[in-house]
Chain A
Amino acid sequence: MKQAYLGIDVGSISTKGVIIDDGNKILSSAYIWTEGDPIGACKRLVSLLEKQFDKENWQIVATGTTGSARKLVGTIVGATMVKNEITAHAVGTTTFYPEVRTILEIGGQDSKIILVENGVAVDYAMNTLCAAGTGAFLSSQAKRLGIEVEEIGEYAARSEHPTQIAARCTVFAESDLVHKLQMGHPREDVIAGVCNAVVANYLNNVGKGKKILSPVVFQGGVSKNSGVVAAFEKALGCKVTVDENGHLMGALGAAILARKGRGRRVFDFAVEDTEFHVREAGCGRCPNNCEIICVYSGDTLIDSWGNRCERGAVH
């Protein structure tokens, strides 16, 4: 049996999974929508991964989870490594692009920038308080314009005079966009304007004060949008690399971290058939009333979190 490693990245919008070997070669991968159900998405993901996976010759010996649902999903799949998405992305990207200096990442609801020197992350920033200019904004605008989010790049490429869109805030951007459409601007131009706005917003907020050096790698779901990639290249004046597996980079990073970590635990595909449920309880032992999350496998409590002090510990 040869050893393999599983990485799962459960984000706000999409859930990604990969199985890699010792040489970081992808043996199996899947990308699905989370649809507000991280546990369900994880089960579907595991069954998709299983179909492409040769269980006769390979065995998954370590599992890593990342993304905003990393803890919940980590509990369910019995992860040996639970890592935040910033580290996972940095590790994934520097493994495949050791020369990289700047990693741009725009996901469903967050965006980050990671600066790298000699293959080591030296600075990062992540959006706070506001999700303007992330994937969620692009999909809602695509819906408003009556096109699929995947088509945005195509439309943007046809534009010759991108419209100026105010990008400081999603709500303002949306009213500006409606205004421009009602004024008679062609759809292509407005869409290209939206792509430029995403880039301007990113560089003015997350990228503020950061020195962006080439080579630049762009990833996260939004990197699949050629309109935004073109807008980044224009704004930065350098080539922006998008890996064909850029959308899987978090999952790849998690798998690599699991491989490098000490923990070993054979992954069981039976997860997809197990009943998991989550219960939320108010602690009630002080006015803070911490919201405690209890995760059950069948009727057994497997983990709980959310309490700020010992009084809220669940046994």
Chain B
Amino acid sequence: MARDPERMKKGTKIIHGAFPRYAEYNCAMKYMAEHGFHNVKFIMPPALTKRTEELGARYSPDFVCTPFKTLLGSLIEALEAGADTLVMAHGYCRLGYYGELMEQILRDLGYEFDFINLSDYDTWKKRDWLKVLKRIDPKLNLPRLIQTARETIRMVEHLDDATSEYYQICGFDATGGGCQRAYRSFLAALYTADCGADIENAYKRVKQEFQRIPLNKPKRPLRVGILGEFYTVMDPFSNLNLEQKLAGMGVEVHRWMNLSNHLIHYGTVKNFEPKIRDLCEYTMGPTSTANIWYAKTCAEHGYDGLIHVKSANCTPEIDIMPVLQNISADYKIPTLYLTYDSQTSDVGLMTRLEAFYDMIETRKRALS
């Protein structure tokens, strides 16, 4: 929203921008869009529901990966909510082609909009990034944009850190919901943040609350590492709330793959590839190398199980399955492979998760 009326002077053409729903990261997109540019109003697409998925599936090719369908559905819902400019991400698998195809499908449906496909600019040259920024806002205020970008990155880092801690503790919450309430109000604060201080305060508050909540945590709780395809593994709607379900059974849920680790701190893990040289010799798909490394790290740290998450037909993640099977055999760590498509049911997931929990729990008891 135009919280700062001065920013939107009379006569400025306002862009109603939107980005498809992606886990809880839309709060960061909104912050970036509304504070970094002087002429953007961010249209928040509605939370993902079955309707989003059905809308997307109706207009998508049948065999495309599920995130494509969800994202397309979300873009349609954003257009319905009044967006006139859509932004689509780029990536190193089929995701790189998503934008082009989505634009075509939406145009064929008769929608009118401006489409910013980041794949058109992903040369990683500053000159090209500047081009896309100028396209959004011709009167770009670069210092302000840089300042906002810094705050946005902090927001993403805080969000990932709090989310990670939340799923590690919420299964042991002794207050019956205190954890969840603290996490939800943290999210609400991020969605309404108006300045850098708002972000920092919300983060401080949630961390304090997490500290204060009494936990019924056993000395050696069951620990499960979750890894897999970029979108499905992070988005609770797409993975049918996998982490919450698992945590609810009394499991410490760990996940390395998130936006900040993958895009910002990727380089901080030194020597990814040499560390997994015994398992694979070449760089694999967009998330594969990191996932193999993470699976191996979890196994080495004595985690009780691994869960590999992917959408149906996700080639990079199918490629790493043989490697995961080797890790599973070498370190004797049970691994559950979950494949999601728009038909996957909650009941089927619950059966597999319950069985997985029973198995790792019995095994831990038998081994100790």
Contact = CB atoms under 8 A, between A and B. Distances in A.
Given A118-B366, A286-B49, A288-B49, A123 B351 contact: no
Given A121-B362, A124-B359, A125-B337, A209 B325 contact: yes
B49 A287 contact: yes
Contacts of A122: 332, 334, 359, 363
B351 A84 contact: yes
B335 interface: yes
Given A287-B46, A289-B51, A84 B325 contact: no
A122 B348 CA distance: 20
A124 B355 contact: yes
Most A CB contacts (10 A, CB to CB) among B337, B339, B344 go to: B337
Nearest to B367: A120
Interface residues of A, number: 25
A21 interface: no
Interface string A110-145: 000000001111111110110000000000000000
Interface in B327-342: 328-329, 332, 334-335, 337-339, 341
A240 interface: no
A297 interface: no
Most A CB contacts (10 A, CB to CB) among B52, B328, B352 go to: B352
A189 interface: no
A38 B312 CA distance: 31
A83 B353 CA distance: 12
Contacts of A68: 347, 351
Contacts of B49: 286-289
Interface in A207-253: 209, 211
Contacts, number: 77
Contacts of B358: 83-84, 86-87, 90, 121
Interface residues of B, number: 36
B9 interface: no
A85 interface: yes
B362 A129 contact: no
Interface string B38-52: 000000001101111
B354 interface: yes
A238 to B, nearest CB: 20
Contacts of B50: 287-289
B322 A209 contact: yes
A126 B347 CA distance: 14
B366 A126 contact: no
Most A CB contacts (10 A, CB to CB) among B350, B352, B359 go to: B359
A149 B343 CA distance: 30
Contacts of A209: 321-322, 325
Interface of A: 68, 83-87, 90, 118-126, 128-129, 209, 211, 286-289, 308
Interface of B: 46-47, 49-52, 241, 312, 321-322, 325, 328-329, 332, 334-335, 337-339, 341, 343-344, 346-348, 350-352, 354-356, 358-359, 362-363, 366
26 contacts: A68-B347, A68-B351, A83-B358, A84-B351, A84-B352, A86-B351, A86-B352, A86-B358, A86-B359, A87-B354, A87-B358, A90-B358, A90-B359, A119-B366, A121-B358, A121-B359, A121-B363, A128-B338, A128-B339, A129-B312, A129-B343, A129-B344, A209-B321, A209-B325, A289-B51, A308-B241
